[in-house]
Structure 1
Amino acid sequence: VVALAEEFGLPVHAVGVGEGADDLQPFAADEFAKALAGVDSEMDQRSAKD
């Protein structure tokens, strides 16, 4: 998705997180990058310990 958006200069408005139309969620680049890097899961684990 990111490579296609960059290559063609297209904005990404939504991302599918499942198989149905109801599984579309608004796309947030920073959230997407954090999820790919595993940053969110680490932060969630730290919060759960507190």
Structure 2
Amino acid sequence: MEKQMTAEEILEAIQKMSNEARWKLLDKMYDLYYSKEHLIKKERLERLWGGG
């Protein structure tokens, strides 16, 4: 069984990230938790334009 990270461990890992990686993480978290419809539209556009 894989050990789950604590909130403190996650924050420590985030602090070690570059600013670019932090922005990517925030974008992914937003999509994951708040914008599922946005993801569906994004996937459709990527398929339409050959990006996915």
TM above 0.5, yes or no, is no
Q: Which has the higher contact order (CA 8 A, sep 6+)?
A: 1
User: Which is strand-richer, 1 or 2?
Assistant: 1
Task: Tell me which interval the TM-score lies in, with the shorter structure as reference length.
Answer: 0.3 to 0.5
- Over alpha carbons, which structure has the higher Rg? 2
Under a length normalisation based on structure 2, what TM-score does the superposition of the two structures give? 0.35
Under a length normalisation based on structure 1, what TM-score does the superposition of the two structures give? 0.36
